[in-house]
Amino acid sequence: MRHLPNYLNWCIFLEKLKKSSQKMMDMAKIVLSNAGALMDYRAIERRYQNLLIQ
């Protein structure tokens, strides 16, 4: 269940790119639109472990 939101976001991302005529440019815009995405991704396991401890 914990991976379901990530999978949904991935599907949305792929659908946006399918409809795009400038795939590389649009991919860069999507990735750069969330500057904290990499930090969020790297924190997933730590946050999950914290949740288990509480």
Cα(12)–Cα(8) distance, integer angstroms: 6
pTM of the prediction? 0.48
Q: What is the pLDDT of residue 41?
A: 76
User: pLDDT at position 1, please?
Assistant: 64
User: Which whole-number Å values give the CA distances from 23 to 2, 16, 17, 41, 53, in the listed order?
Assistant: 29, 9, 6, 23, 42
What single-letter DSSP state applies at residue 20?
-
Instruction: Note the pLDDT tens digit of each residue in 1-54.
Output: 677 887 888 888 888 888 888 988 888 887 788 777 778 778 888 888 888 887
Give the whole-angstrom CA distance, residue 44 versus residue 52: 12
Contact 13, 30 (CB under 8 A): yes
